[in-house]
Structure 1
Amino acid sequence: MTDGDRTLTRRETLRAAVALGGSTGLAACLDLEGQPTEAGGTDRGTDRPAGTESEAELPSRQHAWNEFSRTDEHGNPVPARHHVLLLADYVGDGPVNDGDRTQAENAFRELEETYRWGSDGLLFTVGYSPAYFDRYDEPLSELVDLPQPAALAPFEDPSFDTPDLLVHLASDRASAVLEAKQALFGELETANGSEVTETIDGTVDLIDRRTGFIGAGLPAEHDDVDGVPDGAVPEDAPLFMGFKSGFRQNQATEDSVTIAEGPFTGGTTQHLSLLHTELEQWYNQDSREQRVAKMFSATHAAKNLVEGVGDNLGDSSLVAETGVADRVEDDAFEKGVVGHAQKLARTRDEGGDPRLLRRDFATVDDGQTGVHFLSLQEGITDFIRTRNAMNGDDVANVGGVGTKNNNGILQYVTTVRRGNYLLPPRSKRSFPRPS
């Protein structure tokens, strides 16, 4: 595949194929995944692992991904490389009928029988917005914290996503996320070598499709996108802003974000934002030391705690170990800068554990670099609390810190869209009733 006069690399072609979608994108992925890689051998997952026949082998929680994903040398879960988000509306008026509910569950179950549950096969969740539950006369259980999406800072003006449902597909294999989407919507006769017999076609209208990627080297493959300084993104960075995230010690556990009581026990809530990133400013305006200070803390920068993209940090960003969360106001006054991770650490629970489990990934969907920021938490209030801490209102105009300038990474991200969703347990994932 070429882009003008330039031949795309293998990884670029896979990412481009996911973004393209459809039969053309899928054909390109299947062809490329069967070819030798630049490093020799073949692509991870080209053994095309078979699906999961026994439901007893599947987790009761849709969001139980960590056990079924790779880990790095420090024990951090490694996210799947390719992602597709499908936003859809139910075709009927009012509550969903039982026939459509059964049809959806048969389709989701067939995906599990087609692909092994795991990042080398397919992981997926199905979430429902507050707008979906408005279809019912009965209110959503008061034990579920699921408000309508809202702007969460005075400088935000996002659009709000209110589809009935959101399907998140994730895999190390680009072909799997493309094929799974087409199988769900009845666009294929076979998927992963199995006959497609069950679909959600006719029960929902697809209103948007979004894509993304995460992993060492993938962002650097896309420095030809508008707004990316040539060669600025580190070659081994997993995200566009050049640093590793998802440290195990800085993530909530799957257990802690699980709803503990009520009709949706075993589920969780999901927030999804689309954030555009301003990389010209990030890389050209700031030095490496300033970027470390804004992403982590002034202490991290002064003590050279972060090497490269941060692999040396192990399983923690060291915000707790260095005590920088207690120095936010002091650093604003004395250093003229506060760090993003430093601010967020102030929202940990009484035991010192994080409240959010992040599963975000990079995107160039709009021809602009960004992040699909996806977080799981027991209730959306936990996300709002964390986002308020990111705003740093208490240190704005203290020392050299402004409302956005030198206030973590606020100056470099723009919130474009927001949406909130309930991820029911697997047993209720197909058009759930409110209680």
Structure 2
Amino acid sequence: MTLPDRESVSRRTYLKTAVAVGGSVGLTACVGELTTTEPQPDGETDTQRVPTGDRDSLPDRQHAWNGYLSQDAHGNYEPPAHHVLRYLSIADSVALDSAREQFETALTDLESAFAWSSDGLLFTVGYSPRYFTQFDEQPALPESVEFPEPTALTDLESPTFDTYELVVHFASDRPDALLAAEEALFGSQETVNGREITAISDLFDEAESDRRTGFVGAGLPAENQDVEGIPSGNPVPEDAPLFMGFRSGFERTQATEDRVTIEAGPFAGGTTQHISKLQLQLNAWWNQENHFQRVAKMFSPRHAAEERVGDVGEKLTTDSGLTTEDISDLLKQARDDGVVGHAQKTARAREDGRPVILRRDFDTTDDDHAGLHFVSLQRSISDFGKTRAAMTGTDIADESGIGPRVNNGIMQYIFVRNRGNFLIPPRPHRSFPTANPEANET
């Protein structure tokens, strides 16, 4: 991927593309775009400096992001606009015991360089089941961690399984901060935001790595819809935060950070992470379905009939507007209406009225195709499995006769390409943990 001509695209599209390009080229483009040449009282020209961090004030939970995010008028947490997933495999020559301090120093350097916020930089470090197979402890992980290898979850998919040893999820509203962090860790830049950063590129095998990017927020999908999977004519609404056109991530349709946190054992304070790479095929969504049908499939037929949603979900506040009636006896509703909504089905996986997974997903144009990196946090991977089974709705599709894909929520439009499971340890054990860090780490 290369940068487009600056005059041919909007500023936001240019910055999104710079994140996707990455490296020194992407960083230079971001810095140039975010720097003003107007003289300032202190003699500096950059009026959008990224705030620096206070590493000692951070919580033990790596996934504790909500308290550092902005909120909309209804109290919903607003996700950072730009995201990067760095999948990594440890170089064969690296001894973890000696490399652990180097890795942790690099991560704490980042936390000093950038504020832990959307305006600065948020990140998590997670480890795959493959990572833990190198340790001699039996069992490899404590019973308090339910963390299997990824697997296909429906008969409709045959995904590639991501078996990289670890993944770093970077997120920020500031693309320059995000790219500067990457360049400092894996590239040639030694200082960012006035702080020296310890490099870690020597710890990982560049050939056994991957980089995936994306974005979320009103305006970004519309400005980046000229890709495969979305029909011509710019159908994505200007104020839609996602390619499918509707708001998501309402406060009441998310698990709390407490609910997804591991409660016992050496990894107490951590969480598990599932990441799916989904390819979107939205030609029929935008060309064949009308707004009523899109609302019915995304939420429920009653949402559509009662006009509960609005153009992009602006009529909804802190939840998806589901009533008890909407989520009861879905089989009868599917038979009567000939369609069942995505939100209706997924709500069956709730406990005490709340979901059991916390979503931090985002759209992507990786591979020049519309997609979604579905990132979810949960106490155990089985919580994700239950949620996905409810969303798939095989029982309803089979018994109602609507079929596994067509009119079965949004199943017709999403295709799983990759799946990966990861363990996100608490911050004290995030750097090359053993399978029993309290016993083995010094």
Q: TM-score range by the shorter chain?
A: over 0.9
Supply the RMSD in Å over aligned alpha carbons: 1.8
1:92 CA drift (Å): 3.0
Task: Name the aligned partner's letter for residue 277 of structure 2.
Answer: L
> Normalization by structure 2: what TM-score?
0.92
Per-residue CA distance 1:21-64 (angstroms, 9 max, x = gap):
1111101111112249xxxxxxx992311122x41x10110000
Give the 3-state SS of the residue equivalent to 1:375 in structure 2: strand
- Confirm or deny: 8 A CA contact 2:225 2:370 kept in the other structure: no
Pair 77,263 (structure 1): closer, same or farther in 2 beyond 3 Å: same
Structure 1 partner of 2:362 = 361
Alignment of 1:271-290 (within 5 A): 271-290=274-293
Task: Name the aligned partner's letter for residue 33 of structure 2.
Answer: L
Tell whether 2:222 aligns with 1:223: no
The answer to which of 219-228 and 71-80 deviates more is: 219-228
Pair 166,26 (structure 1): closer, same or farther in 2 beyond 3 Å: same
Give the 3-state SS of the residue equivalent to 1:381 in structure 2: helix
Tell whether 2:82 aligns with 1:82: yes
1:330 CA drift (Å): 1.6
- Confirm or deny: 8 A CA contact 1:332 1:398 kept in the other structure: no
Question: Separation in 1 of the partners of 2:393 and 2:3?
Answer: 44
1:398 CA drift (Å): 4.1
Pair 311,318 (structure 1): closer, same or farther in 2 beyond 3 Å: same
The answer to which of 328-337 and 121-130 deviates more is: 328-337
Pair 192,339 (structure 1): closer, same or farther in 2 beyond 3 Å: same
Question: Separation in 1 of the partners of 2:371 and 2:382?
Answer: 24
Structure 2 partner of 1:391 = 392
Structure 1 partner of 2:106 = 107
Question: Separation in 2 of the partners of 1:236 and 1:178?
Answer: 26
Pair 300,73 (structure 1): closer, same or farther in 2 beyond 3 Å: same
1:322 CA drift (Å): 4.8
Structure 1 partner of 2:66 = 66
1:96 CA drift (Å): 4.7
Question: Separation in 1 of the partners of 2:261 and 2:389?
Answer: 22
Give the 3-state SS of the residue equivalent to 1:80 in structure 2: coil
Question: Separation in 2 of the partners of 1:15 and 1:97?
Answer: 35
Question: Separation in 1 of the partners of 2:147 and 2:95?
Answer: 20
Question: Separation in 2 of the partners of 1:218 and 1:322?
Answer: 34
Question: Separation in 1 of the partners of 2:402 and 2:126?
Answer: 38
Give the 3-state SS of the residue equivalent to 2:158 in structure 1: coil
> Normalization by structure 1: what TM-score?
0.94
Question: Separation in 1 of the partners of 2:334 and 2:47?
Answer: 47
Structure 1 partner of 2:48 = 46
1:199 CA drift (Å): 2.0
- Confirm or deny: 8 A CA contact 1:133 1:140 kept in the other structure: yes
Question: Among the aligned pairs, what percent are the same residue?
Answer: 51
Question: Separation in 1 of the partners of 2:24 and 2:314?
Answer: 38
Displaced runs of 4+ in structure 1, greater than 4 A? 1-6
Alignment of 1:85-96 (within 5 A): 85-92=85-92, 96=95
Question: Separation in 1 of the partners of 2:5 and 2:259?
Answer: 49
Pair 16,426 (structure 1): closer, same or farther in 2 beyond 3 Å: same
Per-residue CA distance 1:324-371 (angstroms, 9 max, x = gap):
11131121110000010100100111x222101000000001110000
- Confirm or deny: 8 A CA contact 1:337 1:400 kept in the other structure: no
Pair 157,45 (structure 1): closer, same or farther in 2 beyond 3 Å: farther
Per-residue CA distance 1:87-137 (angstroms, 9 max, x = gap):
0011137x9532101111011010001101111000000000000001111
Tell whether 2:210 aligns with 1:208: yes
Question: Separation in 2 of the partners of 1:182 and 1:146?
Answer: 31
Task: Name the aligned partner's letter for residue 17 of structure 2.
Answer: A
Per-residue CA distance 1:55-91 (angstroms, 9 max, x = gap):
1x10110000000010000000000000011000111
Question: Separation in 2 of the partners of 1:398 and 1:101?
Answer: 53
Match among 240, 243, 255 for residue 243 of structure 2: 240
Per-residue CA distance 1:212-270 (angstroms, 9 max, x = gap):
00000000001211232222001001110000000000100000100000110000000
Question: Separation in 2 of the partners of 1:344 and 1:187?
Answer: 45
Task: Name the aligned partner's letter for residue 222 of structure 1.
Answer: N
Give the 3-state SS of the residue equivalent to 1:299 in structure 2: helix
Give the 3-state SS of the residue equivalent to 1:249 in structure 2: helix
Alignment of 1:298-317 (within 5 A): 298-317=301-320
Structure 2 partner of 1:328 = 330
Structure 1 partner of 2:261 = 258
Tell whether 2:148 aligns with 1:141: no
The answer to which of 223-232 and 205-214 deviates more is: 223-232
Question: Separation in 2 of the partners of 1:6 and 1:404?
Answer: 42
Pair 288,202 (structure 1): closer, same or farther in 2 beyond 3 Å: same
1:193 CA drift (Å): 2.3
Per-residue CA distance 1:385-422 (angstroms, 9 max, x = gap):
11111111111144451111100000000000000000
Structure 2 partner of 1:40 = none
Gaps of 5+ in 1: 37-43
Structure 1 partner of 2:342 = 340
Question: Separation in 2 of the partners of 1:375 and 1:359?
Answer: 6
Task: Name the aligned partner's letter for residue 296 of structure 2.
Answer: A
Structure 1 partner of 2:300 = 297
Question: Separation in 2 of the partners of 1:293 and 1:205?
Answer: 47
Question: Separation in 1 of the partners of 2:421 and 2:229?
Answer: 29
Alignment of 1:16-27 (within 5 A): 16-27=17-28
Question: Separation in 2 of the partners of 1:185 and 1:169?
Answer: 13
Task: Name the aligned partner's letter for residue 236 of structure 2.
Answer: V
The answer to which of 118-127 and 206-215 deviates more is: 206-215
